[in-house]
């Protein structure tokens, strides 16, 4: 049995996330996929978007197949989310499964800064998806270094989609351009809860239910 873990802040999830997971599924052919929105990721500031809304937006991943499970496990743990603890939870849940972990190219090149990265390599095969054109050489050097430490690395190889959640939060996309980057359930939740409003001329942002 193969279990694929795809974690992230997902603030918000967008077509680039779907592209990456779709490519990883094609490369691994897993029996089960866990989409895991983080509580507070250790390498980022805490999200100001409520966890329940990030979790709800992750329902968009169900469109990729019936094997997708969106898990609230990291959110319910509270505090910072560490990948090794999530993998250990999955190992307890599926003692005999082959575990796979989706990682973006930026994560691969900084992987040795992760908490207990050697234990992660022992538990899971890393499934790497490039996030930008032209970074292949750096990725393969990082992969070779991790393989020398016993790591198992698999490249998903899909064409990268240039999109970043931070740009959506910063209001750099508007109108039809933003709608094209958001799966329909995500766009609806953003509109209903007035998330990621562009700054006003005075630098403030509109709040939900603001008069």
Q: What is the CATH number of the domain that holds 138?
A: 3.40.50.620
The length of the chain, given as a count of residues: 211
pLDDT score for 182: 96
pLDDT score for 208: 41
- Whether 169 maps to a domain, the answer reads no
CA–CA separation, 7 and 99 (whole Å): 13
- Whether 157 maps to a domain, the answer reads yes
pLDDT score for 199: 57
pLDDT score for 73: 97
Host domain of residue 76: 2-163+174-192
- Whether 103 maps to a domain, the answer reads yes
- Whether 87 maps to a domain, the answer reads yes
- Whether 208 maps to a domain, the answer reads no
- Whether 202 maps to a domain, the answer reads no
Mark the ranges of the chain whose per-residue pLDDT is less than 70.
Answer: 43-46, 131-135, 198-211
pLDDT score for 78: 84
pLDDT score for 201: 54
User: Angle 58-63-65 (CA atoms, 0-180°, nearest 5)?
Assistant: 110
Find, among 16, 14, 20, the residue nearest to 5 by Cα. Answer: 20
CA–CA separation, 170 and 85 (whole Å): 31
CA–CA distances in Å: residue 27 to residues 21, 117, 121: 10, 23, 18
- Whether 203 maps to a domain, the answer reads no
For the chain, the domain total comes to 1
């Amino acid at each position: 049995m193969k279990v694929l873990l795809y974690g992230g802040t997902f603030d918000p999830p967008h077509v680039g996330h779907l592209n990456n997971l779709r490519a990883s599924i094609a490369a691994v052919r897993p029996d089960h996929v866990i989409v895991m929105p983080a509580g507070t990721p250790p390498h980022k500031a805490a999200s100001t978007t409520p966890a329940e809304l990030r979790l709800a937006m992750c329902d968009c991943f169900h469109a990729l197949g019936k094997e997708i499970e969106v898990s609230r496990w990291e959110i319910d743990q509270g505090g910072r989310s560490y990948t090794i603890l999530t993998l250990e939870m999955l190992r307890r849940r599926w003692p005999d499964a082959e575990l796979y972990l989706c990682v973006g190219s930026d994560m691969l090149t900084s992987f040795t800064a992760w908490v207990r990265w050697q234990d992660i390599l022992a538990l899971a095969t890393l499934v790497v998806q490039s996030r930008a054109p032209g970074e292949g050489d750096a990725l393969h050097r990082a992969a070779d270094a991790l393989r020398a430490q016993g790591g198992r690395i698999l490249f998903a190889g899909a064409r990268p989609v240039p999109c970043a959640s931070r740009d959506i939060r910063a209001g750099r996309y508007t109108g039809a351009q933003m709608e094209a980057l958001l799966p329909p359930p995500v766009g609806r939740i953003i509109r209903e809860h007035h998330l990621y409003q562009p700054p006003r001329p005075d630098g403030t942002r509109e709040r939900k239910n603001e008069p």
